[in-house]
């Protein structure tokens, strides 16, 4: 039996460090499902693992794409499943780590299939985003599909527009197309979650932002300024500093906004991951050996039930 051990949790909680320890113990390789870390032009602001961390275990899907490429969760699902087929011929255990719940779900459960929508709907929504701002689109989604509004990252304009175009173009809610039967997988997922008290999570996020700035985040954002319209750059840490470079807000406010929006993101991550009752949750300071023991118990129980 093949096992996909997933490590999930809010941003800055320590998922990378745990995934490397698990990979070393099980002699396994790591698939990243962090949708921000796919892009080679974005390093500091996405908290890409350090070179020594990447060297400590074999990683896949880290800085393997360009921000100029159109890359979706559908692309990732196909490529990740292909990579899993390859890796399972070497070892029956693979580690997957990341905070992008949608991308993780795509690999484990499969994507939902949505109707084809006329491109003019998206064009109109993008125009409205530029002229009316994101709040207008957020409010419309809340009215048309409150279930989706409460589930997705509402600070992400790409996700808002995608949900709205389905609502408008099909006349049905985005959520109505979800949770249909999917193709079976050739692996069993074992889900491990890291968490902490809210104030600990927020302190870790604030500190991570400070470290990013010390490492040169502003310089990285400046180098990408002329590309700020690209979808990959519509994300926390970049969006706020683009506004600073535009002269719209001052630097201190931009930093406070990065921290605030990162905290909001972490809250949404926890809401998403906590919905899965199969996840084994551990405090971020938990002894790795205890986590490994729990994983092995799950594997033992599943093997004995065959």
Q: Residues comprising the binding site for ATP?
A: 9-16
| Dihedral (CA of 147, 189, 100, 76) sign | negative
What are the beta bridge partners of residue 96?
A: 6, 31
Residue 183 is given by DSSP the state -
Q: What angle do CA 203, 204, 208 make, to 5 degrees?
A: 120
User: Binding site membership for substrate: which residues?
Assistant: 11-16
Query: Which residues make Cβ contacts (< 8 Å) with residue 184, sequence separation at least 6?
Result: none
In this structure, the strands spanning 280-283 and 30-32 are unpaired
CA nearest neighbour of 100 among 76, 129, 66: 76
How far, in Å, CA of 303 to CA of 87, rounded? Answer: 20
Task: Decide the pairing of beta strands 3-8 and 188-195.
Answer: parallel
Other CB atoms within 10 A of residue 288 CB: 14
Q: Are 298 and 280 in contact (CB under 8 A)?
A: yes
Question: Strand order of the sheet with strand 59-60?
Answer: 59-60, 30-32, 93-97, 3-8, 188-195, 280-283
User: How far, in Å, are 89, 97, 208, 267 from residue 153 at the CA level?
Assistant: 36, 19, 21, 10
Residues annotated as binding site?
Answer: 9-16
Element (H, E) at 21: helix 15-26
The dihedral over CA atoms of 205, 210, 214, 219, expressed in degrees to the nearest 10, equals 80
């Amino acid at each position: 039996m093949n096992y996909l051990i997933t490590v999930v949790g809010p941003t800055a909680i320590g998922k990378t460090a745990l995934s490397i320890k698990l990979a070393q113990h099980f002699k396994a390789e790591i698939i990243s499902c962090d949708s921000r870390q796919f892009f080679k032009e974005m390093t500091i602001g996405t908290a890409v693992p350090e070179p020594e961390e990447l060297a400590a275990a074999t990683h896949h899907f880290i800085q393997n794409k360009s921000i100029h490429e159109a890359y979706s969760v559908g692309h990732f699902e196909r490529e990740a499943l292909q990579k899993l087929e390859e890796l399972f011929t070497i070892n029956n255990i693979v580690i997957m780590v990341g905070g992008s719940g949608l991308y993780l779900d795509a690999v484990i459960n499969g994507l939902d299939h949505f109707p084809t929508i006329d491109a003019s709907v998206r064009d109109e929504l993008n125009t409205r985003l530029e002229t009316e701002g994101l709040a207008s689109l957020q409010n419309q989604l809340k009215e048309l599909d409150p279930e989706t509004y409460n589930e997705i990252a509402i600070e992400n304009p790409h996700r808002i527009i995608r949900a709205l175009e389905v609502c408008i173009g099909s006349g049905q809610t985005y959520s109505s197309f979800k949770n249909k039967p999917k193709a079976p997988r050739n692996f069993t997922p074992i889900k491990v979650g890291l968490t902490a008290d809210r104030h600990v999570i927020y302190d870790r996020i604030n500190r991570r932002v400070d470290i990013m700035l010390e490492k040169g985040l502003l310089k990285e954002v400046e180098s990408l300024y002329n590309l700020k319209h690209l979808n990959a750059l519509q994300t926390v840490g970049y969006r706020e500093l683009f506004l600073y470079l535009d002269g719209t807000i001052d630097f201190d406010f931009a930093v406070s906004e990065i921290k605030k929006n990162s905290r909001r993101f972490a809250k949404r991550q926890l809401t998403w991951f906590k919905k899965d009752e199969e996840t084994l949750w551990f405090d971020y300071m938990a002894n790795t050996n205890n986590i490994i023991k729990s994983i092995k118990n799950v594997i033992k129980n599943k093997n004995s039930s065959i």
